[in-house]
């Protein structure tokens, strides 16, 4: 087995991440493996080296002025486990509370397919703006990003 080197491309690191998650048992189904393989994580973490983006760690994406983390991208294994437990089926409508980088919304949209729809909601307008920009740049057309209080849901997409 060849391990990625320090100079590995994002594509090599991405493929290695999917293999690692499958071998570890965090990815169990073909649907989740396909979603993880289809959505490149490094685009959602533009200020993070790809080697870190594809590693098994959380990545802090926003801090308070006095230092504590306010937002982060969860580790890929955490996301894979959540997706496996959620069991998103084609053509489903999904509401995600806590947009983060938009990466999980993109994975959810891949699972729901062209006939499905994902609405992702976050209270922070900077977070939703950044996620919206990334999702738009990557041509994700079945995802709506809204700024608002998640506990209120989003009735128009229910």
Active site residues: 74
Task: 67-74: list long-range contacts, CB under 8 Å, 24+ apart.
Answer: 70/124, 71/100, 71/124, 71/127, 72/100, 73/41, 73/44, 73/45, 73/100, 73/101, 73/103, 74/100, 74/104
The residue ranges of DSSP E strands in 11-90, in sequence order, are 59-63, 69-73
Q: Which helix (H) or strand (E) holds 118?
A: strand 117-122
Using CA atoms, how far apart are residues 97 and 17, in angstroms rounded to an integer? 25
Closest CA to 3 of 54, 38, 65: 54
């Amino acid at each position: 087995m060849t391990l990625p080197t320090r100079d590995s491309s994002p594509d090599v690191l991405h493929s290695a991440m999917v293999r690692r998650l499958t071998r570890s048992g965090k990815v169990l189904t073909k649907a989740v493996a396909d979603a993880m393989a289809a959505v490149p994580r490094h685009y959602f973490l533009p200020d993070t080296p790809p080697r870190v983006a594809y590693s098994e760690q959380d990545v802090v994406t926003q801090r308070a002025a006095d230092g504590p983390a306010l937002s982060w991208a969860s580790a890929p294994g955490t996301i894979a486990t959540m997706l496996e437990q959620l069991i998103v089926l084609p053509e489903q409508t999904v509401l995600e509370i806590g947009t983060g980088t938009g990466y999980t919304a993109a994975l959810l949209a891949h699972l729901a397919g062209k006939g499905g729809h994902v609405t992702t909601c976050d209270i922070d307008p900077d977070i939703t703006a950044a996620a919206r920009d990334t999702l738009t740049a990557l041509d994700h057309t079945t995802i709506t990003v809204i700024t608002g209080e998640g506990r209120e849901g989003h009735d128009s997409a229910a």
